[in-house]
């Protein structure tokens, strides 16, 4: 039987900021990604959309390959989120392009355990993601095998959406589940993350915060936007 563990009874991992390049100016992709990393973002988050699993089309392995040299140079972690149907078809291509982690959705395929094992056999870390309406319990059986759990705090497919408040409870649930499983997996949250709610999700034990438009958009510079996150998270 799993032990009854309260969030925080195991050491808290340092909170990391992942810059979602979907919100960057693609004409300046390398320069803007470099600026975000230099300002204090630790990860680059690449959202891959196929127009089927989500109602949008974004980028593929070529974008991951383009960012790999920058990640090598700066020590950044290349975080690839596959919002695509039947992701098994493309795992090898994204692994070869240079992804450090491939995250797939529990809703996107029939055999999640097989997909997670296939990712690991490619020498890449494996993440699992949940859409807002999917309960945390859907991941119960796969948690011991996951290197990352991603909670979508908006309905996936478009940037710039508003944070869904119920995501806080889901983060807390998943942290308890991860702790009970003795897992050191990252707990990531993506969607509507801004400096104004960064401390809230960090207090719910998320330790990777994905931000796109809040880093690359708005009236302020990328450096100022990242600084606002660092201040909100006590990292400044």
Domain ranges of the chain: 16-232
- The answer to whether 167 and 131 are in contact (CB under 8 A) is no
According to CATH, the topology of domain 16-232 is TIM Barrel (3.20.20)
Measured CA to CA, the distance from residue 178 to residue 166 in angstroms comes to: 19
Active-site annotation, residues: 47, 190
pTM equals: 0.92
Q: Within the chain, which residues score under 70 in pLDDT?
A: 1-12, 157-160, 236
Annotate the chain with three-state secondary structure: CCCCCCCCCCCCCCCEEEEEHHHCCHHHHHHHHHHHHHHCCCEEEEEEEECCCCCCECCCHHHHHHHHHHHHHHCCEEEEEEECCCHHHHHHHHHHHCCCEEEEECCCCCCHHHHHHHHHHCCCEEEEEECCCCCHHHHCCCHHHCCEEEEECCCCCCCCCCCCCCHHHHHHHHHHHHHHCCCCCEEEEECCCCHHHHHHHHHCCCCEEEECHHHHCCCCCHHHHHHHHHHHCCCC
Q: What is the largest CA-CA distance in the chain?
A: 53
pLDDT at 236: 64
pLDDT at 14: 86
pLDDT at 11: 54
- Over residues 198-214, the pLDDT tens digits come to 999 999 999 999 999 99
pLDDT at 82: 97
């Amino acid at each position: 039987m799993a032990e009854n563990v309260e969030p925080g009874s195991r050491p808290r991992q340092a909170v990391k900021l992942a810059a979602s390049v979907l919100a960057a100016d693609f004409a300046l992709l390398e320069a803007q990604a470099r600026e975000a990393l230099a300002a204090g973002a630790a990860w680059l988050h690449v959202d891959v959309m196929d127009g089927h699993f989500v109602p949008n089309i974004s980028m593929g392995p070529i974008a991951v390959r383009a960012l790999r040299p920058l990640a090598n140079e700066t020590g950044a972690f290349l975080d690839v989120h596959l919002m695509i149907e039947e992701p098994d078809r493309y795992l090898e291509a994204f692994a070869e392009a240079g992804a450090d982690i491939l995250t797939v959705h529990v809703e996107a395929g029939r055999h999640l355990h097989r997909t997670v094992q296939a990712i690991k056999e490619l020498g890449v870390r494996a993440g699992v993601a949940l859409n807002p309406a999917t309960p945390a319990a859907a991941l119960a059986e796969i948690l011991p095998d996951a290197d990352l759990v991603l909670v979508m705090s908006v309905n996936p497919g478009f940037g710039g959406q508003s944070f869904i408040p119920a995501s806080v409870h889901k983060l807390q649930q998943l942290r308890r589940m991860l702790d009970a499983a003795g897992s050191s997996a990252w707990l990531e949250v993506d969607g509507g993350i801004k400096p104004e709610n960064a401390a809230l999700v960090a207090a719910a034990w998320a330790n990777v915060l994905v931000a796109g438009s809040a880093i690359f958009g708005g009236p302020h510079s990328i450096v100022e936007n990242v600084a606002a996150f660092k201040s909100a998270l006590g990292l400044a």
